[in-house]
Amino acid sequence: MTISSSLNAGVAGLQSNATRLASISDNIANSSTFGYKRVQTDFHSLVISSNGGTYSAGGVRATTSRLIDQSGSLVSTSNATDLAVRGRGMLPVAKESEIGVSNGDPLMHLTTTGSFRTDAEGFLRSDSGLVLLGWPALPDGTVPTFPRDTSDGLEPVQINVNQFSGEPTTKLALGVNLPATDTDAGSAGEIQYLSVEYFDNLGTSENINISFTPTVPATGSSNEWTIQMTDSALNNAVVGEYVLTFDNSRTSGGTLASVATVSGGAYDPVTGNLIIAAEGGPLEINIGTLGDNDGITQLSDSFAPVSISKDGSPVGNMTNVEVDANGFVTAFFDTGINRTIYQIPLVDLPNPNGMVALDQQTYLPSPESGSFFLWDAGDGPTGDIVSYAREESAVDVAGELTAMIQTQRAYSSNAKVIQTVDEMLQETTNIKR
C-alpha cells in the first residue's frame, strides 16, 4: 500500500507540474499581449491519514487562478481612442457579433484596455471585435442619470464622422463704452451703431443691430441714452427699446443708474439681463448691473465696443473625437466648438479575480466576483481613463523563465520517484524466483 501510494504521489506530481508548465507557457506566449493578466498555479498537498504507523503518500494537486487585479504598465500611442484604465475599474465592452444581430441589449463584457477605432457604421470597435459601451448624452451635452447597478442604460458608442453640428445663440453680453460728452448740452448728438452676429436655430448667421441715441439737453448733461435693437431675421423689425441713465457721482461715475423699458422684455437689475424676442426665440442680452462697470458704461469721449461675447455656433463638421480622464467622449468640430456625446463608466467589483475569463482579454462578472457597480471614472474607488495609451501585459518574462526551470526540475524529480517505485516493485516481484 505504501509503495502504491508513492507511485500515485509521483503521478500526481507529474500532473501538477504539467499544469504549472501549461500556465507558464500561456503567460510567456502572451508576454506581448496588451491587457493580458497572468495565470498563477498554486500547489496544495493531499494528506491521507495513516493507520498503524504506516504512512501513505497523498500527493499534490494544482489549482490555477488568473490575477485580474494585477495591472501592467501603460504605454503611449498615437490614437486618441486607445484607452487604458489607470487604477481600479474596467471598461464595459460588447462583442461585435452581438451588436450585429440586434437581439436586445448586448451582454456586457469587461476589459482594462483596448484600441478602438470607428468601423464602417461608426462604432468604436477594436481589431478583436470588441465595441466600446457608454451612456449617451442629450443634445445639449449633458448626461442624464442612469442606473448604476445594471448595464441596461449602456449603448454601443457610435461616432457619426459625417455629423454636422450647430448651436443657436441664446445669450449675448455687451461690453460697450458710450461717450459721456455726447450727452452734454450743445453736442452733435451723434447716433452710435453696433451690429452683433448671432446664430438662429438652423445655424444661419443673423444680426442684432443696435443703435445708441444720446439725449442732448438744453443745459448741462443728461447722461441718458436710448438704445434700440432690431433683428435682421425679422426684416429689421424693432425687438427692444430701452432708456439708459448713467450715474455721474464720484464713486460710481459712468455706471448704469437706471434702465427704463420702452418695448421688449423687462430689465432685471439683479442679473443685468434683458430678454428680447428674436426670430428664433428668446434672446437674453446682458448689459450689466446697476452700479457696476461690467457691461455698458458712459465714460470719456469715445465710443468703444470693449467686449462682445455670445454662445452658439455656426454649422460645422466633426473633425475628431477624444475621451477624457473622466470618461466623457467629446466630439470636436471645425468651428472650434466641442460637444459631449457619451460617457464611459468604469465598472468595479469586490473580487475582480473571481470573474470568468474569456478570450480577447475580456471578463464576465460571476457570483464569485460579487455584484458590479458602474462608477464615474475618477470617482469612488475607481481610477481614471487614459487616452492615447494601452496597458501592457502583466507578465514578467524573467520570473516565468525562472518558474519554468523550477517546474522542469520538479517534473524530473517526480519522474525519478516513479522510476524508483517501478524498480522496487520489480525487486518485490523477483523475491519468489
Annotate 88-131 with DSSP letters as a single string: S-BEEEEEHHHHHHT-SSPPPEEESEEE-EE-TTSBEE-TTSEE
Is residue 189 a part of any domain in this protein? yes
- pLDDT, tens digit only, all 433 positions of the chain: 577 788 888 888 899 999 999 999 999 999 999 999 999 999 998 887 766 667 778 788 999 999 999 999 999 999 999 999 999 999 999 998 888 666 667 899 999 999 999 888 889 999 989 999 999 998 878 999 999 999 888 999 988 766 666 678 899 999 999 999 999 999 988 999 999 999 888 878 899 999 999 999 999 999 999 999 999 999 999 999 999 999 999 899 999 999 999 999 999 999 999 999 998 889 999 999 999 988 999 998 899 998 999 888 777 777 888 999 999 999 888 777 788 999 999 999 999 999 999 999 999 999 999 999 999 999 989 999 999 999 999 999 999 999 999 999 999 998 998 888 888 888 888 886 6
Same domain, 291 and 244: yes
Domain that holds residue 268: 169-311
Per-residue pLDDT, 112: 95
- Pinpoint the alpha helices (H) of 131-263: none
Same domain, 145 and 244: no
Is residue 339 a part of any domain in this protein? no
Same domain, 246 and 180: yes
Same domain, 197 and 293: yes
Same domain, 188 and 298: yes
Same domain, 223 and 276: yes
Same domain, 50 and 109: no
**Cell digits of residue 140:** 445639449
Is residue 318 a part of any domain in this protein? no
CA distance to 71, 293, 342, per residue, from 253 (Å): 64, 9, 49
Same domain, 187 and 239: yes
Per-residue pLDDT, 433: 63
Same domain, 353 and 414: no
The pairing of beta strand 82-86 with beta strand 171-178: unpaired
The pairing of beta strand 281-286 with beta strand 171-178: parallel
- Biggest alpha carbon distance in the chain? 146
| Residue showing cell 473571481 | 354
Per-residue pLDDT, 51: 67
267, 288, 311 - which closes a domain? 311
Task: Please say whether the beta carbons of 243 and 196 come within 8 A.
Answer: no
CA distance to 71, 79, 388, 391, per residue, from 76 (Å): 15, 9, 6, 9
Helices 2-29 and 397-430 meet at what angle, rounded to 10? 160
- Pinpoint the alpha helices (H) of 169-276: none
CATH of the domain at 187: 2.60.98.20
| Residue showing cell 470588441 | 130
Same domain, 291 and 363: no
Same domain, 266 and 198: yes
CA 393, CA 403: separation in Å to the nearest integer? 18
Domain count, the chain: 3
Same domain, 53 and 152: no
